[in-house]
A and B are shown apart, each in its own frame.
Chain A
Amino acid sequence: MMQFAEHVQVRPEKFGSVIFETLCEKVFVTNKTGAEILRLLKQHKTPEEIIAQLAHDYGCSIDLIRNDVEEFITNLTNHALLKNAHK
């Protein structure tokens, strides 16, 4: 299960969303698609479920979306914003 790190705060904004990692006092912003992925991650959806959901919402193929979602999630993990938590 993917989980946000302890000091990470996410807030929806008109432009997408803002992520505040308050421990290191670093701020990140995303656009609306990023915000949608974050919303689904907050609901503890798996990457596969997120890909399927977005493919459905945007009316495009899963293969087309997979790379982007995976890259976004890797990015979040690399910045220590998201971690893999055991159930």
Chain B
Amino acid sequence: MIENELRPLSRLGGTPTPKGNIFSDYTAPLFIAWQLNAECNLECLHCCEEAGHQMPNELTHDEIMDFCQQIVRAQIPYVAISGGEPLLHPDFFTLSEFLRRNKVSIKVETNGTFIDHEVARRFGQLGFRSVQVSVDGATPQSFEKLRRKGNWQRTIDACKYLVAAGVNTEIVFVPTKFNIHETGDVIDLAYRLGIYGFYTGKTMQIGRAAQNWDILCPSDTEYEQFFKVLSQKQAQYDGKMKVYYYPDDVIEELKYRLEYPSTSLLVIPDGKVKLIGPLPFICGDLRKHRLAEIWERYQKAWQLTHVRAFTQKVINDSRLLAESNRWQELSIN
């Protein structure tokens, strides 16, 4: 008898033993989260990236395209492009076209401002895995209080253009004191718009969210109600629209990742590679290292005593999450 098997992994990095269950079994990452730029047209109160202006020393066009070639050569299956607002980046469509031509799955996270009929059509032609639009409210009032320079109607129109262009469109909703009571309404709205999936989870105490935590953070009771609504809506839209929510907060995620690091890399606009979003550590630099080398450095970085000790400290004191955007380069041999 030949021995073959097909094993689903519920979460990359899952349980140990058979091969393919821990990140070090893999020749390259399976996923790249790429923050293409830091520039943004909105000034969201909760922005984990503190986005606004361009970061000094962002990757150049040639460096971006070189990285894309490395992604293709390493057969990385899936890339998520974010920012800042990635649609503000002049190379966004050039790199997307290159990756799609080489069959890499892409999703983009966007605030939707720059999506009109024409842009939506372009996404449709490129066959993106999805376009994720941030819709943090069922009304202009709550949405625009959080997304200070945002325009709710324009964002909803962006979703409509995308759906009309046949793009797999998703909505991301970040709960805060201003909008948490509208969770169910946003899900209903998403369904009416023909959205493929709705995603949410607890707000991370990172970046501007950490600075504005007192006015943003929902109470325990509000979160309790939030998860009740989500569970009910998940049942209501079962088989019709994906309603996904991540039940853990960022601290739970860190605890898990300390044991089972993910099979992914997080690239920031200047080409530095972060170990994981909520920690300040930089484990590689696209300007100095090739992707294969960064993948090795990433694996070694998770073993460093200093990294493990600091992660444990953050787990014990979530206020340290505020350090996550004060990057520290790790020395890795």
- Chain A contacts to B: CB under 8 angstroms: 6-7, 9, 11, 13-16, 18-20, 22-23, 26-31, 33-34, 37, 54, 58, 60, 64-65, 68-69, 72, 75-76, 79
Q: Is the CB of B5 within 8 A of A31?
A: yes
Chain B 62-95 interface 0/1 with A at a Cβ cutoff of 8 Å (1 = within):
0000000000000101100000000000000000
What are the nearest 8 A-B pairs in CB distance? Answer: A15-B19, A29-B20, A9-B77, A22-B105, A33-B4, A20-B77, A34-B4, A27-B9
CA distance A7 to B79 in the complex (A): 12
A9-B104, A68-B1 provided; 19 other pairs, C-beta below 8 A?
A: A7-B129, A9-B78, A11-B28, A11-B77, A13-B19, A22-B129, A28-B8, A29-B19, A30-B5, A30-B6, A33-B2, A34-B4, A60-B2, A68-B2, A68-B4, A72-B4, A75-B6, A79-B6, A79-B8
Alpha-carbon separation in the docked complex, A82 to B97 (Å)? 25
Could you tell me the distance between the alpha carbons of A8 and B6 in the complex, rounded to whole angstroms?
Answer: 14
Residue of A nearest to B77 (CB): A9
**Residue in chain B with minimal CB distance to A55:** B2
Binding site for A on B (CB under 8 A): 1-9, 12, 18-21, 25-28, 30, 75, 77-78, 103-105, 107, 127, 129-130, 168
Interface of B is mostly: loop
Closest partner residue, chain B, to A25 (CB atom)? B78
Interfacial chain A residues near B7, Cβ < 8 Å:
28-30
Q: How many A-B residue pairs have CB under 8 A?
A: 93
CB within 8 Å for A31 and B8 given contacts A7-B129, A9-B105, A20-B78? no
Q: What are 13 A-B interface contacts by the 8 Å CB criterion?
A: A6-B127, A15-B25, A16-B19, A18-B26, A22-B77, A29-B19, A30-B6, A31-B3, A31-B4, A68-B2, A68-B4, A72-B4, A75-B6
